[in-house]
Amino acid sequence: MTEPMTDTGVAFESPDAVERALSGTGYLPDPALATAVFLAARLQRPLLLEGEAGVGKTSLAEALAQIKGSTLIRLQCYEGIDASQALYDWDFPRQVLHLRAVQALRTDTDTTPEEVAAVEDELYSERFLLARPVLAALRTPDAVLLIDEIDRADDEFEAFLLEVLADYAVTIPELGRVVAQQPPMVVITSNRTREVHDALKRRCLYHWLEHPTLVREVQILRRRLPGIDEQLAADVAGASARLRGAALLKPPGVAESLDWARALTAIGVTRLDERSGLATIGAALKYREDIEVVRASGALLTGSA
């Protein structure tokens, strides 16, 4: 179903409307997540999503961009990332080329101070500006900005983001202040390798994304893998749920369930039993220790004691 449009893009009327719109893209949220998205949109607050790997944090932002019909602007965080990678930078090689071109074209030798100043101004104009994701999101109407894996960045970077998110504006000394005409929808994700600071959390609406329930995961598998055997979808979702309860080093996320179902389909089985499960376990588990746990207890795969 198409949601009503306003002059500022898609307006969600209710959490149910969010759920319907997301489902339309193939992303099946639980009611709590749909409510969090609704509130983030309504209150124009960034949504801070934490959760285990592969529970659907990044793909939520992708689905939101799809609903809004805008491209997803993504900032992948990493250790050492700084404002020039997030906001803007000057295209130094092009600036140098431009200077050389100006020099080559000049035939006279005396240049007035005004001419020098004019060339310098040109160097710091829009033409040589490299807009990085945060600036691009401020300047794009109705954008969705994904700040992915904020926990990988360091404290200074968080403080910088906080400043930008406080008023959805930045100042570029050479060009002036850029204020978002319409604030982007911001989704920040964290895998919780470290705690995000309280100051940033205060700015955001927080949501802890759980693994899906068994019923929802079956729906996700069937939606993402059209044509998958119904029984196989139920088997895989059931086995993934049991594995998540088994204190493994790295329990499977939805991403792994999808891969596992694909692997089982590829070897032509329609039921997950101990044999087919072990043959394809590398799609679901990525640690030798975890695979040993499953070898020792085949019931984790089949559910029968």
Ligand X SMILES: Nc1ncnc2c1ncn2[C@@H]1O[C@H](COP(=O)(O)OP(=O)(O)OP(=O)(O)O)[C@@H](O)[C@H]1O
What residue ranges bind Mg ion (CB under 5 A)? Answer: 57-58
**Looking at beta carbons only, is 67 or 170 nearer to ligand X?**
67
Measured from each CB, the residue nearest to Mg ion is 58
**Least Cβ distance, residue 202 to Mg ion (angstroms):** 23
Of the pair 26, 298, the CB lying nearest ligand X is at 26
Q: How far is the CB of 138 from ligand X (least distance, A)?
A: 24
53 binds, among Mg ion, ligand X, none (CB under 5 to 8 A by kind): ligand X
Which of Mg ion, ligand X, none sits in contact with 133, Cβ below 5 to 8 A by type? none
Judged by beta carbon, residue 34 or residue 170, the one nearer ligand X is 34
For residue 126, the 8-state DSSP code is G
Residues near 96 by Cβ (< 8 Å), separated by ≥ 6?
none
Which of 170, 163, 209, 162 has its CA nearest to residue 189? Answer: 209
Strand positions, DSSP E, 125-204: 129-131, 144-148, 169-172, 176-179, 185-190
59 binds, among ligand X, Mg ion, none (CB under 5 to 8 A by kind): ligand X
Among Mg ion, ligand X, none, residue 277 binds (CB under 5-8 Å by kind): none
The type of residue at 294 is V
Closest distance of CB 29 from ligand X, Å: 6
15: amino acid identity, one letter: P
For residue 79, the minimal CB distance to ligand X (Å) is 16
| Residue 56 interacts with which of ligand X, Mg ion, none, CB < 5 to 8 Å by class | ligand X
Q: How many residues does the chain have?
A: 305
CB of 208 to ligand X, least distance (A): 12
- The Cα 186–Cα 195 span in angstroms is 19
Partner in contact with 191, chosen from ligand X, Mg ion, none, beta carbon below 5 to 8 Å by kind: ligand X
Residue 255's binding partner among ligand X, Mg ion, none (Cβ under 5 to 8 angstroms by kind) is: ligand X
**Is the alpha carbon torsion for 250, 51, 139, 25 positive or negative?**
positive
Asked if residue 149 lies in contact with residue 110, where contact means CB atoms within 8 angstroms, the answer is: no
Choice between 35 and 88, CB closer to ligand X: 35
| Sequence-separated (6 or more) residues with CB below 8 Å from residue 31 | 15, 19
Rounded Cα distance between 158 and 2, Å, is: 36
Torsion of CA 268, 273, 275, 277, to 10 degrees: 80
* Closest to 86 in 3D by CA, of 98, 95, 73, 69: 73
Residue showing the smallest CB distance to ligand X in the complex? 56
Nearer to ligand X, 28 or 137 (CB): 28
Measured from the CB of residue 170, what is the shortest distance to ligand X in angstroms?
27
Q: And the tokens for 258?
A: 């999808």
Beta carbon nearer to ligand X, 250 or 271: 250
Nearest CB to Mg ion, comparing residues 57 and 224? 57
Q: Cβ 70 to ligand X, closest distance in Å?
A: 18
Beta bridge partners of 89: 130
Which residues contact ligand X (rule: CB under 6 A)? 26-29, 51, 53-59, 191, 212, 220, 224, 254-255, 258
Measured at the CA of 46, the angle between CA 41 and CA 52, to 5 degrees, comes to 110
